Every structure is written in structure tokens, then in C-alpha cells.
């Protein structure tokens, strides 16, 4: 089968190349999937560059999540069978026609959802749910400020925030992209190009945002500290800006807010039972049609580098997905 793999770490993501690979048979508790789609996530880029906290052995295929058909099951697997259509958490390996996955990481594709959208919802919406509900304790009636709202994890946060009854302020540096977020339910949209502190204060009657969801970091984080409410929660999701910010600890002391790190996948690895509950909630919302990822573009496997560049160059709106057929 074909696989887009990394043989050397590099800032230049074009180091990916197509290989012909033969997978080993699935071991105990594993399945072999015939992948139909795999979403592209920012950590895929970071892994190619050697900048992500998880550093797989070379060579490897990026791809954290995919959707496909079970082609073979390993010893002891009873939860899925050959022919089942599933979505799977992979960590790596999704940029390929086939992948080995843990049977526990495979769940039925939500009813009515195609392979492309099934590959696009799990990581983004799990991140948003764990961040806002589990770590951020978001309550109905609170104000949620979502940065990077036009990206996959940002759009997911807007959706989860609205489902939980929050007033959502969505930000981006693109007015055109913000139109889409507004159409999908954000209460207010702000272009951050010239700052957002005063606008957030004005929209909240001077109080500031109760919960701030920040996958951007850098200057966006710095300014968020200036418009967060008393007892607010500033959720650190990532650093797509490229700069990891610092904070003087007198600011959370004086303003009484918390800075909370969020790693949804690691949360489940540290507490598997809680992780399963979180996934069940997200899957139920998807099955009920309450969350539907916005997919802006699809690319065939041989154009995986182009797909990654759409994210890298900030051109994506929502999710980008690689297809195998």
C-alpha cells in the first residue's frame, strides 16, 4: 500500500515522499484499516519539523485521525469486525492507504456522516469539549472568547460553546473567514489585526470574557490577559502563531484568573475511563447531528504536502482532509 512518510525531520514539509509499504498483520487488540480519509492537523506539521511533544521514530507517516473500513482484526478483538466502517484515533500513520490501529481507538462512524466528515470531527471536537467543559468549566450564560475561530479546533470551540449556552465572541485575522463563523452561529466576530481588547470589554459591559480559548499564543495570548474577567479561565490549546508566550504571575493574582493547559489526548491517556467518557459525549453529539465539521478542501493522498501547506499558510477554514480513493 502507499504511504506518505517522513524519513528526516525538516522545517520544509516537502520532505514527505510516497513509499510502498507492507504493514505487519495486526497484533492482539489491533485492527488493520483500509483508510478512506484522514484529516490534517497542525501537530502533523510540527511532527514533520520535530517540534511536537510526541516524537515518533523515523520513518513515519503523519496523520492523527482517520476514517475507513476494517480490513483485518488481530487476536482477541471482538469490538469491531471486518467490514465495519469506523473512525479511528491513530496519533500517526493516517497519511496512507492502510493503517494499524488499536481496536479500542475505533468507533462506528456516526449515522449519516460520510468518511470525509468522519475523519474531520474527532480530534477537533474532543479538544474543544475537554478544554471548554472539562478543564474550563464553561457555564451557560458565560462569555466565551474563541481565538483562531476559523481553524478546525476554533470552529469546534464555537460549536461547543453555543451548545453549552455561552455567548461566543469569535476572532480571526480574516473578515472573509469570519463571515463563515458568523453564519455557523458565533454571536460576535472580531478581526484581531488591530487588537481586540477594547472590543471584548465593550461587548461584555467592561467585565471581560469568562473563558478564553487560545490555540494561537503569541501576541493573542498577551492581549487576552488584558480582557479576561475576574475568575476567568484562559485555556492554552497551542501556539499556531509560532511564539510561546510568557506571563507575569502577578496578572492572574491581581485579576483572579486561571491559566489552564489543555491536551485532550493526554487527558485520556492519563485517565482512560474519563477519556472514554469524553469521547462518548463527542460521538453522541456527532450522531445526533449537533456537531458537523466544516471541511474547506480535500486532497488526494499524493498531494498531502499541499494539504498541509493550506494549514501552514493560514488558508484553511475549518478542516482540510486527505482522501485515499
**Which of 106, 108, 103 shows the shortest CA–CA distance to 29?**
103
pLDDT classification of 241: cutoffs 50, 70, 90: confident
Write down the pLDDT at residue 80.
95
pLDDT surpasses 90 at 253: yes
Mean pLDDT of 24-48: 96
Mean pLDDT of 106-130: 95
pLDDT surpasses 90 at 53: no
- Measured between alpha carbons, how far is residue 317 from residues 152, 158, 241 in Å? 7, 13, 16
Strands 98-102 and 30-40: antiparallel
Write down the pLDDT at residue 240.
86
pLDDT classification of 286: cutoffs 50, 70, 90: very high
Write down the pLDDT at residue 265.
85
Write down the pLDDT at residue 325.
80
Write down the pLDDT at residue 133.
97
Q: What would the pLDDT profile of 153-212 be if each residue is shown by its tens digit?
A: 999 999 999 999 999 999 999 999 999 999 999 999 999 998 999 999 999 999 999 999
Give the global pTM. 0.91
Write down the pLDDT at residue 128.
97
Given strand 209-214, what is the order of strands in its sheet?
188-191, 167-172, 143-146, 209-214, 228-236, 258-261
Amino acid at each position: 500500500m502507499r504511504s506518505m512518510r517522513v524519513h528526516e525531520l525538516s522545517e520544509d514539509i516537502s520532505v514527505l515522499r510516497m513509499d510502498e509499504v507492507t504493514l505487519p498483520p495486526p497484533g492482539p487488540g489491533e485492527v488493520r484499516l483500509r483508510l478512506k480519509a484522514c484529516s490534517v492537523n497542525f501537530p502533523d506539521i510540527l511532527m514533520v519539523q520535530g517540534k511536537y511533544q510526541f516524537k515518533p521514530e523515523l520513518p513515519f507517516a503523519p496523520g492523527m485521525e482517520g476514517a475507513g473500513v476494517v480490513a483485518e482484526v488481530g487476536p482477541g478483538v471482538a469490538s469491531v469486525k471486518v467490514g465495519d466502517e469506523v473512525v479511528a484515533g491513530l496519533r500517526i500513520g493516517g497519511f496512507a492507504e492502510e493503517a494499524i490501529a488499536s481496536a479500542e481507538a475505533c468507533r462506528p462512524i456516526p449515522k449519516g456522516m460520510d468518511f470525509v466528515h468522519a475523519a474531520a470531527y474527532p480530534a477537533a471536537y474532543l479538544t474543544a469539549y475537554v478544554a471548554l467543559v472539562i478543564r474550563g468549566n464553561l457555564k451557560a450564560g458565560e462569555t466565551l472568547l474563541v481565538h483562531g475561530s476559523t481553524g478546525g479546533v476554533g470552529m469546534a470551540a464555537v460549536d461547543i460553546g453555543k451548545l453549552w449556552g455561552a455567548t461566543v465572541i469569535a476572532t480571526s485575522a480574516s473578515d472573509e473567514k469570519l463571515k463563515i463563523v458568523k453564519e455557523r452561529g458565533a454571536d460576535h466576530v472580531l478581526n484581531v489585526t488591530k487588537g481586540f481588547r477594547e472590543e471584548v470589554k465593550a461587548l461584555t459591559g467592561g467585565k471581560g470574557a469568562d473563558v478564553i480559548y487560545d490555540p494561537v499564543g503569541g501576541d493573542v495570548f498577551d492581549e487576552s490577559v488584558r480582557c479576561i474577567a475576574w475568575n476567568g479561565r484562559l485555556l492554552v490549546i497551542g501556539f499556531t502563531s509560532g511564539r510561546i508566550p510568557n506571563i507575569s504571575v502577578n496578572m492572574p493574582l491581581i485579576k483572579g484568573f486561571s491559566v489552564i493547559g489543555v491536551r485532550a489526548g493526554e487527558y485520556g491517556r492519563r485517565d482512560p475511563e474519563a477519556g472514554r467518557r469524553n469521547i462518548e459525549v463527542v460521538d453522541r453529539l456527532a450522531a445526533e447531528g449537533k456537531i458537523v465539521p466544516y471541511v474547506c478542501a480535500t486532497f488526494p493522498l499524493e498531494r498531502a504536502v499541499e494539504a498541509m501547506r493550506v494549514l501552514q499558510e493560514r488558508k484553511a477554514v475549518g478542516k482540510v482532509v486527505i482522501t485515499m480513493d
